[in-house]
Structure 1
Amino acid sequence: SIVAFLGLKIGTQASTPVQIALGIVMGVGAVYIWVNGKAKKRLSMIEEQLPEAIELMVRSLRVGHPFSSAIQIVAKEVADPLGSEFGMIADESAYGREVSESLKDLAERMDMQDLRFLAVAVTIQQQSGGNLAEILDGLAKVVRARFRLFRRVKAITAEAKWSGNFLSAFPLLALVAIQVVKPDYFDKVKESPFFIYAALGVAFMLALNLIFMRIMTNIKV
């Protein structure tokens, strides 16, 4: 097939700089895609668990537990990944660090707006006083509302994302169809000295198309 031929030709006939550059791009790109996918999945799980964790803290505060104990309860009762993150906060608190500072660090590390809201709420309560349980109860409702809105936006943009993925995959599907229907279609251009560079250029443009499609359909809530 044309794909196998292209891979063989690049691996055997392309200049060494092209081979090195392509190898670096493929290696770094594969690692980036894998790590980015894992990170997005982890953040998505934390966003989904956060309202439950805040409500658990509210119940703990209302029965008389101090906030540090509420953090420990969340660490024990909530599953990973959020449970382990709150476990780290509980450990830092046990060694004397302010819980609000640990929450700020967690919010910045996760780059999550809802965690920033939680850190700000705790900081304000520590500085000016007030009923923390009531503050967190209101925050839990806000976080749940934002999460429902996020789900709704995700459903609305699903069609646009599917269209973007289809348009990105269409050239590859067309290439496969051509190879099945007429395997010798590219025989005349395979021997051209510009074939490898043209194929790499097309692959680069397809990758850019996929990236921009994802940016356009990634609506922040």
Structure 2
Amino acid sequence: MRRLVLAAGLTGWLGALLGLGLAAPASASVTDLVAPASGAHDWMLLAGTGILGLGAIATAVLLVPRRATTLTVEDRISAYSTASAVGAEGGPATGRAHAAAAGLLRRNPKLEDRITRRLKAAGSELQSTEWLLINAGSVVAALALGLLVGRGAVAPVLLFVVAGAVLPTALMRMRAGRRGKAFQAALPETLQLMASALSAGLSLAQAVDTIVREGPEPIASEFQRVLMENRIGISLEDAFDGVAQRFESRDFAWVVMAIRIQRQVGGNLSELLTTVAETMREREYLRRQVHALAAEGRYSAYVLVGLPVGFFLFQCFAQRDYIATMWTDPIGIVVLLGAAVWLMVGTFWMRRMVRVEV
């Protein structure tokens, strides 16, 4: 929770500096920045000062040492509960925030399951409640920046709020995607190593332990989770199936199915894994070849999507009076919303065109 307070403090300082910079003219000196603003920029200076105060408070919370207290036996035991641990770490305010997030997740178990699955797929150590609080903080920070940049206009505020709501999930998806690609690329060699361990006379659990000690990431950490689940009573097949679901890997799901069939009807598991590894290696080679052939269309899509967004942001800072018509005039607002909708449609269409399943 101290990391959340630190993020709030940094957001406050940056927001205050941005507000002061936007409130002052481009030719203002340092003395002009400190002096009170006038006219239409007065509320900007007040908003920047308020956020500056929030940043100072958050920084003070981090820097002021805590008073040493003597814990009783009951306090030491209750520290292992979720509510007490949160309250002791972050104070009453953060404790209430965690309690509210936990209550929301209890009322929506499907949401909690989806968030937990995404966090595990991304290899994150965050809890579901912490993830919800980070999303809420991102929306609040985006709202503050939208008010500072847009100077009260509705359209920039909405754009910043939407970006703040989407950004954490997008970053988490990107991290999970990179981790999934690394898992898929290392899977053939992992299966070959497992087959070699089985040929040497080791059991399947011992072969998995060999992968944990010698395998690459993220397979080593995921197989370590498999061993931990197996030690508490979950079968290896079910634990492997959980890995396939977290990474949404059809290849590894087929491996789990092959292991289940071998356990039921018998056979040489080492030869089976060797054959599956060779097939996956050929599919991975074909997948990389198709990925290289589609690179031109993929990067063209990146340019076509990023160019209007980048040009719009450039105009917001370079020629603000010229572009301000887009959110001050009703026709401009309609044009801006229509452009955003069609940009999303085009992004989805180009993504489907350059994405080839192998």
TM-score where L is the length of structure 2: 0.53
Q: Deviations over 1:78-117 (max 9, x none)?
A: 1221101101111222333221111112112211011111
Q: Among 93, 97, 119, which residue is 2:234 paired with?
A: 97
* Amino acid across the alignment from 2:201: G
**Structure 1 stretch 36-45 or stretch 197-206: which is displaced more?**
197-206
* Alignment pair present for 1:12 and 2:149: no
Work out the percentage of aligned pairs sharing the same amino acid: 27
Unpaired runs of 5+ residues, structure 1, are none
Q: Among 196, 203, 214, which residue is 1:59 paired with?
A: 196
* Amino acid across the alignment from 2:154: A
Match of 2:86 in 1: none
Match of 2:351 in 1: 214
Equivalents in 1 of 2:169, 2:323: separation in Å? 35
* Alignment pair present for 1:117 and 2:254: yes
* Maintained 8 Å contact 1:49/1:82: yes
Match of 2:337 in 1: 200
* Amino acid across the alignment from 1:142: T
Unpaired runs of 5+ residues, structure 2, are 1-21, 23-145
* Maintained 8 Å contact 2:185/2:284: yes
* Alignment pair present for 1:40 and 2:177: yes
* Maintained 8 Å contact 2:315/2:323: no
RMSD, aligned CA? 2.9
SS of residue paired to 1:12: coil
* Alignment pair present for 1:70 and 2:207: yes
Match of 1:148 in 2: 285
* Amino acid across the alignment from 1:212: W
Higher RCO by CA contacts (8 Å cutoff, separation 6 or greater): 1
Structure 1 residue 149: deviation in Å? 0.9
Structure 1 residue 169: deviation in Å? 3.0
Larger Rg: 2
Q: Deviations over 1:138-183 (max 9, x none)?
A: 000011111111101101111111222222234346668989xx95
* Maintained 8 Å contact 1:178/1:185: no
Equivalents in 1 of 2:310, 2:340: separation in Å? 13
* Alignment pair present for 1:126 and 2:270: no
